[in-house]
Amino acid sequence: DVKVTQSSRYLVKRTGEKVFLECVQDMDHENMFWYRQDPGLGLRLIYFSYDVKMKEKGDIPEGYSVSREKKERFSLILESASTNQTSMYLCASSSAKVQGRALRETQYFGPGTRLLVL
């Protein structure tokens, strides 16, 4: 079974802090994704990566950056946390080998990190 783990289930940070959310997958998947989920807005794609050191912006990249130094690990960074970044953050991975299909193929999600920014 595919396993996607996220470093924390719950996180409380203060406005202006730098926040790191870590995601690790154990299935040698090429592609990894970061989403945020908010009531009434569904899941929104922040960034994704189809290879090590490669990244692509999703729908809402502002205020976020990402890092993928190793294939199994994808980090989401909030450079200066703000209260409107309070949300559930979900990491996912997929095995699509063709770059153009990365976003269309089955994705496997982690349990999520619920971030509260005070």
Residues that bind other proteins (CB under 8 A): 4, 40, 42-43, 45, 90-92, 103-112
Which CB atom, from 18 or from 57, has the smaller least distance to other proteins? 57
Which CB atom, from 48 or from 64, has the smaller least distance to other proteins? 48
Which CB atom, from 70 or from 104, has the smaller least distance to other proteins? 104
Question: 3-class SS at 29?
Answer: coil
- Give the integer Cα–Cα distance in Å for 117 and 108: 27
Residue 81 to residues 14, 71, 89, 102: CA-CA distances in angstroms? 7, 26, 14, 29
CB of 17 to other proteins, least distance (A): 24
Question: 3-class SS at 101?
Answer: helix
- Give the integer Cα–Cα distance in Å for 79 and 81: 6
CB of 109 to other proteins, least distance (A): 3
Which CB atom, from 16 or from 111, has the smaller least distance to other proteins? 111
Name the nearest CA neighbour of 59 among 79, 74, 38: 38
CB of 80 to other proteins, least distance (A): 26
